[in-house]
């Protein structure tokens, strides 16, 4: 068995773009990406961008709008982003039994966003890249994979798995 569970793109239940409605803090979100980008706008007090993010069903548009948040301070976002993504994914996975089952089925592995395009949330490499199995060679931080792996372990510790 591989020590990694690689994922990428919206078809994967682990993707931020995977369509999976959930409720959190009085809002219904269609993707974890929408939660993340709306939370980013809230963090920096950009009410207009938050409204627009909440008004679109497209994760691509949600991400693009998130890049337009005014008053953005990188250091503030870096300090808050993983906690924000954790909360959104906790809601996503605990409100959908089939998604929770998929997450728990990765037990014993590290989740890895094998996006060749993302060096922050992913590893900056595709799953079939020769270096994908070697974390020391990754070109990215794999923040999403780390958050999801921690979430899975926390849910198991809570007795959900």
Q: Over its length of 161 residues, how does the chain's per-residue pLDDT go in tens digits? A: 579 999 999 999 999 999 999 999 999 999 999 999 999 999 999 999 999 999 999 999 999 999 999 999 999 999 999 999 999 999 999 999 999 999 999 999 999 999 999 999 999 999 999 999 999 999 999 999 999 999 999 999 999 87
Q: Where are the domains of the chain?
A: 1-13+96-161, 21-81
Classify strands 22-24 and 4-7 as parallel, antiparallel or unpaired.
unpaired
- Show the beta-strand stretches assigned E in 69-159: 110-113
Residue 13 is classified by DSSP as T
Q: At what angle do helices 97-104 and 74-94 cross, to 10 degrees?
A: 110
Beta strands in 27-144 (DSSP E): 27-29, 110-113
d(CA 120, CA 123): 7
Cα torsion 61, 141, 118, 147: sign: negative
- C-alpha angle 22-8-110 in degrees, rounded to nearest 5: 90
């Amino acid at each position: 068995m591989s020590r990694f569970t690689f994922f990428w793109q919206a078809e994967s239940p682990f993707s931020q773009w995977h369509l999976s409605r959930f409720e959190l803090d009085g809002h219904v979100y269609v993707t974890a990406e929408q939660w993340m980008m709306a939370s980013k706008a809230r963090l920096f007090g950009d009410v207009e961008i938050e409204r627009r993010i909440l008004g679109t069903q497209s994760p691509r548009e949600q991400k693009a709008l998130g890049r337009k948040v005014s008053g953005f301070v990188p250091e503030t976002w870096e300090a808050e982003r993983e906690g924000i993504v954790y909360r959104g994914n906790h809601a996503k996975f605990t409100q959908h039994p089939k998604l929770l089952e998929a997450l728990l089925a990765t037990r014993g592995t590290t989740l890895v966003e094998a996006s060749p395009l993302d060096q922050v949330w992913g590893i900056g490499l595709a799953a079939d890249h020769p270096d994908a199995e070697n974390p020391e060679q990754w070109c990215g931080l794999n923040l999403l994979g780390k958050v999801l792996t921690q979430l899975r372990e926390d849910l198991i510790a809570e007795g959900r798995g």
